[in-house]
Amino acid sequence: MESYKQEFIEFMIDCNVLKFGDFVTKSGRKTPFFVNTGFYRTGAQLRKLGQYYAKAVESKFGLDFDVLFGPAYKGIPLTVATTMAISEEYGKDIRYCSNRKEVKDHGDKGILLGSPIEDGDKVVIIEDVTTAGTSIQETLPIIKAQGDVKPIGLVVSVDRMERGQGTKSALKEIEETYGLQTTAIVTMAEVVEHLYNKEYKGKIIIDDGLKAAIDAYYQQYGAE
């Protein structure tokens, strides 16, 4: 596993973003692990997060695209942090764009924040986590309504590696249904590999009991 992936896993723990216990996902699944990017709360954390996302974006998609789109609300700081990191790390000026939950009818009118999306633009979508793949159904129509644009990919922080609407993973379903490439900074398999029965800051994060709970979760919800 690349060192930046190991660093990102530990970064999520330090920021209290990656948690283990008893949770319920947006799709209603009871899960022993949860990723909440709302716990990235400082400038230093967002700067570092943007750097991890920028590396994942560049590794998968290169930099031959025009707009990074982050769905409201969590996608808004992700787009800002990542476009800044792409500029600093790679010298490429990518535009950022997000949507509003409600259309604004005065001043800066419309449904979009940041850069407009224009005919011919190639767009990469950035999200926090995809569990069942439902959010992309709301995001793509907003992007495509802006004109003759080409959504080319989706990047998330963690691939939960579980079923979407069918038996395949949510990211795989998105690839096949919408023709998008997908990538993640890390997968849950990599998280488990890095943390299982290994000490981090004097503590075992994933012990035998938690590993058994994660395995049981994947027996029920794991993708083929």
Active site residues: 104, 106
Q: How far is Cα 110 from Cα 177, in angstroms, rounded to an integer?
A: 28
Q: How far is Cα 69 from Cα 63, in angstroms, rounded to an integer?
A: 14
Structure tokens at 15: 């920021």
Q: Is 191 helix (H, G, I), strand (E, B) or coil?
A: helix
Sequential DSSP letters for 125-167: EE-SEESSS-HHHHHHHHHHTTSS-EEEEEEEEEE--BB-SSS
- Residue among 150, 148, 158 nearest 179 (CA): 150
Q: Is 60 exposed, middle or buried (0-12, 13-18, 19+ CB in 10 A)?
A: middle
